[in-house]
Amino acid sequence: MAMSPPFLSRGSRGNRVGRRVGAMLTTSLVVLSLAAMLLTWRQPAMVGRTAALASDSEGFRQAHFLVGREQLLLRAAVTGLDAEWYAAQLRALRPMVLDSLARLAESAGGERRRDLVDLLDAERLLQASTEALFAILDRADLTAAAALVEGRGPLMESIAGRLSVAQRLHTAEYQAQLAMAARQARLLRYGMVLVFLVGLAVLAVTGWLRRTDRRAIERMAAEDALTGLPNRTAFQARAEVAIGAAGDGPRRPIVLVVDLDGFKEVNDSLGHYIGDKLLVEVGARLRACVRGDADTVARIGGDEFAVLLVDAEARIGEETADRLCQALVSPFVIDGMPLDVEASIGIATAAPGQDVGTLVRQATAAMYVSKEHHLAHSRYDPNQAGIAARLTLVGSIRRALDDDELVLHYQPKVAVGTGELIGAEALARWQHPTRGLLGPAEFIPVLERTSLVHRFTQHVLTMALAQARAWLDGGHRIPVAVNVSTRCLLDQHFPEVVAGCLLAAGVPGELLWIEITENTVMADPERAIDGLRRIRALGVSTAIDDFGTGYSSMAYLRILPMDEIKIDRSFVKGLGTDERNRVLVKSTVELGHNLGLTVIAEGVEDGAALQALRDLGCDGAQGYFLCRPLSIDDFDAWLSNRAVPV
C-alpha cells in the first residue's frame, strides 16, 4: 500500500480540522440569517433575499476554495512527489467542485446565471482533461504530465478569474442589500455585526491553514525525502540546541555516525531501487533503537546515518551502538531477497561549547577507526587526530581539483638497447598553496580510500591525454602511462570514462597505457580481467606495475589481458653486483617474453644496472640514471636536447 510522506499526512490532518471549523462557521452564519428573518417579520422579502445572498456568499467562498485546491493539486501532481496521493485527492475533489458551481448557477439569476453556467461548462472541460492526466501519471511520465497541465494553464486561469469576477459582483450586490436593510431596520445592524465577526473568524481559520501549510513545507525542507528521517540540516540544528542546553552539566549530548558496510555492492549489483528500499528499512530499525522524540536519528549522506543522544551519560553511547548493531543482525528481506547489512559506528561526546561540525568530524573519525579495524563501534580518542587530518586532507584535495592545483610530471621510458624514447609515465604532484609541491606519497594513499579517487583519476587522464595530444601536434608520438587504483579498475563504468577522455582529447588509444599493480588484479580477478579487456578493446595498452612485490596467481597471470610488466625497483637496485637480484630479474624477463609481454625495469640508478639489463634482454627502463620525473617545460627541453646513457 502506498503511503503518503509524513509531512503530507500532518498537513492533511490540519486541513481536515480547518474544514470542520469552516463548516461550523457556515452553520453559524445560516443560523444568524434565520434569526434575522424572524426578527424582521415585517420585511420578509428583504430578509429572505439577504439570507439567500448570504448563502451564495458562502457558496462562492467554498467554490473559490475548491477550484483553487483543484488547480494546486493539478500542478503538484506533476512534480513527482507522491503523484498517486495527489491523483487520489483530485478524483475525490472533482465532484465537489462541479456540485458547488452547479449550486451557484442554480441559485443565480439573469446575466450572472448565464456566466456561471458558462463557468460550469469550462470546469467540465478542464476535468475531462484530467482523465488523460491520470493515465499519464499511471505511466510515470512526468514530462508529458507537466506539458498537459501547462497546456491547461490558460483555461485554469480563466476559470479562476471568471469565478473571482462573479464573486465580486455577488459581493457588491450582497453589500447593497445589507445597506438597504440597515436603513430600514435597526435590528439588522446587529445581524451585520455578527456576520462581520463570523467573517473575521473565517479569516482567522484561513490564516491558520496558511500557517499549517507553511509549517508542512518547513518540515519537508528538514526531512530526508527517501526515509522520512531528519536530514543533515535538521540534525545539525538539533545538535546545536542540545549542546547549548547541556551547558557545563555532566550529562552531555552524544553523536554516533553509522556507516553501512557493503552498501555500494548492493547498489552496483541489485540497483538503486533495491538500495533505496534497504535504506528505508535500515532507517526504521535505527529509529526504533532510540528514545522516541528525545533522541534523533538522521540520514546525513548516501548510506550514512547519524544519531543524536540528548542529555546522556557517556556509557549510553556504547549501549546505544550495541543496540544499533544488534538491530541490523537480522537479514533485510527486500522484494523477496534476503540482504545482510553490517555497520561501522563512531561515537563522540560533545564538549561544552563545542561546535557541531567538530563533533560530527570526531564521530566520523572514530567510525573510520572501527571500519579499518573491523570493530562494531569505536569511541573518538584524541589520538585519532591523524584520521581527522586525513578527512580534512580529502576536503583539501577536492578543493585542489576545483582550483587546478594538481600538476603532472613525466618520467621517460627508454629502450635499453638503443636509448630510444618509448613512452612517458605521468606522475601526479600537488602544487599546494602553502606547503609547496607535494609528492604522491603525501596524498595518494588517503585518496585511494575514498570515492574521490574516481574524479582524481579522470582528472589525471584528461591532463595526460591533453599533453599526449600536444606532443602529437608537435611531431612527437609519445605514449603516456597513467597509474590506476583498485577502486577505479573494479568500477564497471571505468572503461567508458577512459573512452570519453580519449574522445575528448582526440588521442588514439595506442598512445595511452594503463598501469595497475598485482594486488589490484587479485582484489577481484574476474572483474579486473573484464575491465582490462574492455579497456584494451579501445586500443589502450595495459601494464602490471611494481611486478614482484605483490601476490599474483600464475593461473591469472597467464590469462591477464596485459601488454607489459614493470619490474619493481627493489629488484633492479644493485643489479650489477647482487647475483640474487640478477637471477630474479632474468627469470622475470624470460617469463614476460615467454608470455609475449614487454618487460620494463624501474629504478635504474647507475650504468652497471643498465648494462646488466641490456645483457639480460630487458626491453626498456626508467629511473634517475636515465632521467628524473620532469615538469612539462623541463621534459620538452630534455626532449629537444636529450642524451640518454646507453
Q: Could you tell me the CATH superfamily of domain 400-631?
A: EAL domain (3.20.20.450)
Residue by residue, DSSP assigns 480-533 as: EEEE--HHHHT-TTHHHHHHHHHHHHT--GGGEEEEEEHHHHHHSHHHHHHHHH
Instruction: Indicate the pLDDT class of residue 3, thresholds 50, 70 and 90.
Output: very low
Q: Which pTM does this prediction carry? A: 0.49
Q: Which has the higher per-residue pLDDT, 615 or 4?
A: 615
Query: Which stretch of DSSP H or E encloses residue 358?
Result: helix 356-372
Confidence at residue 638, expressed as pLDDT on a 0 to 100 scale: 92
What value does the mean pLDDT take over residues 397-418?
89
Task: Output the CA angle 389-394-395, nearest 5 degrees.
Answer: 95
Q: What is the mean pLDDT of residues 316-337?
A: 89
Dist. CA 435–CA 433, nearest whole Å: 6
Distance (Å, rounded) from C-alpha 568 to C-alpha 620? Answer: 13
pLDDT at 416: 93
> Counting Cβ atoms within 10 Å, is residue 625 exposed (0-12), middle (13-18) or buried (19+)?
middle
Q: Give the mean pLDDT of 237-265.
A: 85
* The pairing of beta strand 564-567 with beta strand 541-547: parallel
Q: Is pLDDT larger for residue 147 or for residue 496?
A: 496
Q: Which amino acid is at 392?
A: T
The owner of cell 542540545 is 242
Which pLDDT does position 191 carry in this prediction?
Answer: 66
DSSP for residue 419: -
Percent of the chain with pLDDT over 90: 25
Give the orientation angle of helix 579-594 with respect to helix 607-616, to 10 degrees.
Answer: 40
* Residue at 291: amino acid letter: R
Between CA 119 and CA 126 the distance in angstroms is 11
Q: What is the pLDDT of residues 94-140, one digit of tens each?
A: 888 888 888 877 777 667 777 777 788 887 887 777 777 777 777 77
Please tell me which of 208-222, 258-272, 425-439, 631-645 the model is most confident about, judged by mean pLDDT. Answer: 425-439
Neighbours of 431 (CB within 10 A): 14
- Pinpoint the residues of the chain covered by CATH 3.20.20.450: 400-631
Write 21-27 long-range contacts (CB < 8 A, 24+).
21/205, 22/202, 22/205, 25/198, 25/201, 25/202, 25/205, 26/58
Q: What's the pLDDT tens digit per position in 503-562? A: 999 999 999 999 988 777 776 788 888 999 999 999 999 998 878 665 554 556 677 888
pLDDT digits (tens, 9 = 90+) for 419-473: 899 999 999 998 888 888 888 887 887 777 777 788 899 999 999 999 999 999 9
CATH 3.30.70.270 fits 232-380, yes or no: yes
Q: What angle do CA 19, 22, 24 make, to 5 degrees?
A: 115
Q: CATH 3.30.70.270 region(s) of the chain?
A: 232-380
CA distance 399 to 452: 11
pLDDT at 570 over 70: yes
